[in-house]
Amino acid sequence: MSENTPVSDKVDRVETIIEQLEDGEVSLEEAQELREEGQEILAELEETLDVGEGDIIEQ
């Protein structure tokens, strides 16, 4: 996802990925790709929100 993608859209995508993985109706290869995509999005969210030890830190 691009840096300009709204946080809410990124969260929605992660939730969709989780649902797809929990349903178990994807191949192993697709599951690995979804996992990687989810990790990338979560890293972007963490950077965007500047997450500290469980708290959001204002800059």
Tens of pLDDT along 1-48?
Answer: 777 888 899 999 999 999 999 999 999 999 999 999 999 999 999 888
Residue 15: what pLDDT?
A: 96
Asked if 37 contacts 17 with a C-beta cutoff of 8 angstroms, the reply is: yes
Q: What is the C-alpha to C-alpha distance for residues 13 and 37, in angstroms, rounded to an integer? A: 9
Residue 53: what pLDDT?
A: 62
Residue 49: what pLDDT?
A: 80
Residue 28: what pLDDT?
A: 95
DSSP state of 57: P
Residue 50: what pLDDT?
A: 74
Please, which residues have CB within 8 angstroms of residue 33's CB and are 6 or more apart in sequence? none
What is the pTM for the complete model shown?
0.77
Q: For the chain, what are the domain ranges? A: 7-49
